[in-house]
A and B are shown apart, each in its own frame.
Chain A
Amino acid sequence: MPFKRYVEIGRVALVNYGKEYGRLVVIVDVIDQNRALVDAPDMIRGQINFKRLSLTDIKIDIPRVPKKKTLIEAMETADVKNKWEKSSWGRKLIVQKRRAALNDFDRYKVMVAKIKRGRAIREKLAKLKRENPA
């Protein structure tokens, strides 16, 4: 199967290890085989190893090592934030974060809601079974 996500200038990646864990960064230049220069609107441009990056499907159009202003503009036009939050990967991460930040009362509320939902599903299923004995 051919590769779809390439390391290239403008590729958006997620940091998956280390101090910057969970941050979306843009690959701004390639230093050598193992390292890239990455940048994000709220961090200082720095180097990071490819082993710490998970490439995403999003790619923006920037020149090599752009100024912070150009980078922010390009990210706005490509609408990186919305695309990420709408993508299934991004949505899963948001849900994970929410689940990790629940307090005990919230977990109780979730339990009650799950029971309610399960009950509604089972009632509907029983009704359908009664109507269509097959």
Chain B
Amino acid sequence: MELNLKKQRARVNYHINSSLKELVLRALFTSAAWGALRSMVKFRFHQYQVVGRGLPTDAEPHPKIYRMKLWATNDVRAKSKFWYFLRKLKKVKKSNGQVLAINEIFERKPTKIKNYGIWLRYQSRTGYHNMYKEYRDITLNGAVEQMYDEMASRHRVRYHGIQIIKTATIPSKLCKRESTKQFHDSKIKFPLVFKKVRPPTRKLKTTFKASRPNLFA
């Protein structure tokens, strides 16, 4: 999406007169998705699409092109992960292959709440296991970050011990976990039971307080 938007902006510069161009640019910049993307929190994990193939040789002038979608903290690591996985699947290495394209994939609808199902393979202290986990989030990157945090806390598995097999947006009917299904209620209603009042900035934090806090909502 990032690449497409860049191309659109370039085209706008050359072909449209300035007032119309401003209108188009403003529309692009204020459209909900773009704005939501810009105002979003910084993700630790970004989703990349990496396309690569083995180098063409005399025996095979047109090698097969492979595309992979994966998560990494930056695009350098994404390319490295690409070769790691491709090595395990095909007889090709980084030294005799080439990356043809690497694009970051952004969330299409970052204001829509979705149920994400993530299938993963992780290494525990005793062996490899498969797992299926569900998360409710507005972006896939957010769900993946939740997954890594949860795997680290619940199973003590770090980032390098997890391989994401598949991710999918699950419609509400097909969700399996009670913890996500409990939020599938159009008339959801609950009180905030424990309301700790915080100072509005960390600067106003004090060690001692004059009175006990009121924790009622």
Using a CB–CB distance below 8 Å, which chain A residues touch chain B? Answer: 1, 3, 5-9, 16-17, 21, 29-32, 37, 44-47, 50-51, 54-55, 64-65
Contacts and interface: CB of A to CB of B under 8 A. Distances in A.
Which size bracket describes the interface of B in this complex? 20 to 34
The 7 closest A-B pairs by CB, nearest first: A3-B191, A8-B189, A45-B111, A44-B35, A32-B136, A6-B189, A44-B36
B188 interface: yes
Given A16-B198, A32-B180, 13 more contacts: A3-B191, A6-B189, A6-B190, A7-B190, A7-B192, A17-B198, A17-B200, A31-B183, A46-B40, A51-B198, A54-B195, A55-B192, A65-B113
B167 to A, nearest CB: 17
B216 interface: yes
The DSSP consensus for interface residues of chain B is loop
B45 to A, nearest CB: 17
Nearest to B30: A44
Given A16-B198, A31-B113, A45-B36, A37 B189 contact: no
Interface string B155-196: 000000000000000000000000010010011111111011
A7 B194 CA distance: 13
Contacts of B196: 51
Contacts of A31: 113, 136-138, 183
A32 B188 CA distance: 11
A80 B183 CA distance: 27
A64 B186 contact: yes
Given A17-B198, A21-B200, A32-B183, A44 B32 contact: yes
B189 A7 contact: yes
Interface in B112-159: 112-113, 136-138
B32 A45 contact: yes
B39 interface: yes
Contacts of A45: 32, 36, 111
B111 A3 contact: no
B192 A50 contact: yes
B210 interface: no
B198 A46 contact: no
A37 B111 contact: yes
A21 B193 CA distance: 22
Contacts of B192: 5, 7, 50, 55
Nearest to B199: A17
B76 interface: no
